[in-house]
Structure 1
Amino acid sequence: MPISNIKSSSDMHYQYMNATGELKYNMTNDYMFRMVLQRDKNTLINLISSVLDLPLSVIEDVKIENSVEPGKAISDKEYQLDILVLLNGNTYINLEMQVVNYDNWTNRSLAYLCRRFDNAARGKDYNTIKPVYHVSFLDFTLFEDHPEFFAKYQVRNAIDNYLYTNNFNLYVIELNHTNIATDNDKRLGIDKWAKLFKARTWEEIKMITQDNPSMDSAAESIYLSNSDFAIQEQCRAREDAIAHEKYQKEQLEEKERQIENLSAQNKTLTAESVSLSAEISRLTKLLEDNGIKH
């Protein structure tokens, strides 16, 4: 249903409450993630409040610094769909949804964080640098030997854990590990946000939000964005692009396996050739020692 057919917020709420079945696109689609958070300030504020453990009363303003026109196509060169938020005019928060594991997230997220941390205006003292948070929502396990639902990383002393600065923060939320959310994660409602992002049906969304009224606005924004044909098309384009990226990654991995196998075979053949040469030399010497010419 086109967005223009939704006549009022009450009409939209009624239609959302009567929605059933599967969503066309949930918020693990990074385009949908951006559209929902960009179009609904309430959702953005409530999410930041949960993740940063900030009372709503201290959040005076949130401004998205890299807005995208809803439904606007994004070129291949612009396929970085992170959301850069300026909180209260003095703190940068980078929010990013990532569902494909390219085995480079630690370096990639640090690169994003460092670029944003370098925010002192030219000629200004480094003490004017604004604090930065990079918040990754991952639909995979970052460290297989250390699964964690909500991890916070900072620069600290390697010996006694003394904090170097609280201006440089990297948060990782693994959407597939809500089962190991801590009591504090649950107190902040971060596990509920993760479940909302991954919900595939309207029934799931309603169940998640029924005891969490702060998420009602998010649910309605998800419905509104799913009702917009132009946004649907861009979400589909993102899924196609991700599927292509995954295929390319699998093909590259298969080529690397083939090269490794060929290398191993070559080493085996080389070893066999060396062994055969040594055996020929041994037999030749044995013949010569016995006065037999060859």
Structure 2
Amino acid sequence: MEKSNVPDFETATGTIDYGFTNDYVFRKILQENNDVLKALICSILHMKPDGVEVTVTNPISLGETFSAKDFILDVRVVLNDGRLIDLEMQMTNEYNWPDRSISYASRNFDQLKRGEYYIDAKPVHSIGFLNFTLFEDNPEFNALYQLLNVKTKRLYSEKFSIHVIDLSRIDLATEEDRHYGIDRWAKLFKTKTWEDLRMITKNNETMQKAADSLYQLNSDAVARQCAQSRADATYWETIKNNVSA
């Protein structure tokens, strides 16, 4: 395996070339580290990890170069209780996230086979990590959207929810967010230096696994090429959106 000139994780210094906000890096680390994926989902959904099992239902080959236009952005997961989760890292504001997240969640909710009962449909949770504020007039770090009655605020169904984590507004994390460690995950994803990464992952074995995987990825020539491909695609998407906005 060809290695780049990246020091050992425990002594590495300086800028991380390809961090967690690169959607290739995000997908690779979650797909290849079941413990990390489980811990992240349990944090967002306020679940105890004991007894929880997670399975990626749309795995892709991550060890080969690929065309940027063919890359599957979202990570679809099923829990052992049947719940369906969709996760995505989105750095560029394409001004379509509400429609996009509803589309992903609806696709997962349309899960029943012919003859099955609607009451047996499993809950669906869409989780988006965004590096921009979705609604500028009401910024939130961690927002939860569900179907409800607009007059009485009565919840229509608990089986359909959309979670939006604004990585650009970690400063707005609530006490509840901090209790479940959601702000710490956000800081992990936003980390730009190896020194900060060691500080954030200190005394957290699962996050240290994620950090070690990040080091291994940054040390692998093929993985770096894939990450760069995604970074280039994101750059040109940003240029296009800024021109059309």
Q: What interval of TM-score do these two structures reach, taking the shorter chain for normalisation?
A: over 0.9
> In structure 1, what is the equivalent of residue 177 of structure 2?
185
**2:42 corresponds to 1:43:** no
Partners of 2:127 and 2:195 lie apart in 1 by 28
Return 5+ residue gaps in structure 1 as ranges.
6-13, 254-294
SS of 1:169's equivalent in the other structure is strand
Amino acid at match of 1:229: A
Work out the percentage of aligned pairs sharing the same amino acid.
41
Range 153-162 or range 164-173, more displaced = 153-162
SS of 2:61's equivalent in the other structure is coil
- Relative contact order (alpha carbons < 8 A, sep ≥ 6): 1 or 2 greater? 2
Aligned ranges 1:18-57 → 2 under 5 Å? 18-57=11-50
Partners of 1:159 and 1:251 lie apart in 2 by 39
What's the offset of the Cα at 1:55?
0.5
**CA 1:160–1:85 in structure 2 vs 1: closer, same or farther (change >3 Å)?**
same
Partners of 1:126 and 1:72 lie apart in 2 by 40
Aligned residues: 243
**2:200 corresponds to 1:219:** no
Partners of 2:2 and 2:12 lie apart in 1 by 15
> In structure 2, what is the equivalent of residue 286 of structure 1?
none
Amino acid at match of 1:88: N
What's the offset of the Cα at 1:45?
1.1
Q: Deviations over 1:74-113 (max 9, x none)?
A: 4355333110011115011000000000111111111111
Amino acid at match of 1:97: M
**2:81 corresponds to 1:107:** no
Amino acid at match of 1:75: S
Q: Alpha carbon RMSD of aligned pairs, Å?
A: 1.8
What's the offset of the Cα at 1:43?
0.6
Aligned ranges 1:136-285 → 2 under 5 Å? 136-253=128-245
What's the offset of the Cα at 1:125?
1.4
> Which structure has the highest helix share of the two?
1
> In structure 2, what is the equivalent of residue 119 of structure 1?
111
> In structure 2, what is the equivalent of residue 256 of structure 1?
none
Partners of 1:215 and 1:93 lie apart in 2 by 20
Structure (1 or 2) with the larger CA radius of gyration: 1
SS of 2:8's equivalent in the other structure is helix
Q: Deviations over 1:18-59 (max 9, x none)?
A: 222111100110000001111111111111111111101131
Residue pair 2:93, 2:241 contacting (<8 A) in 1 also: no
Amino acid at match of 1:224: Q
Residue pair 1:71, 1:233 contacting (<8 A) in 2 also: no
**CA 1:202–1:76 in structure 2 vs 1: closer, same or farther (change >3 Å)?**
closer
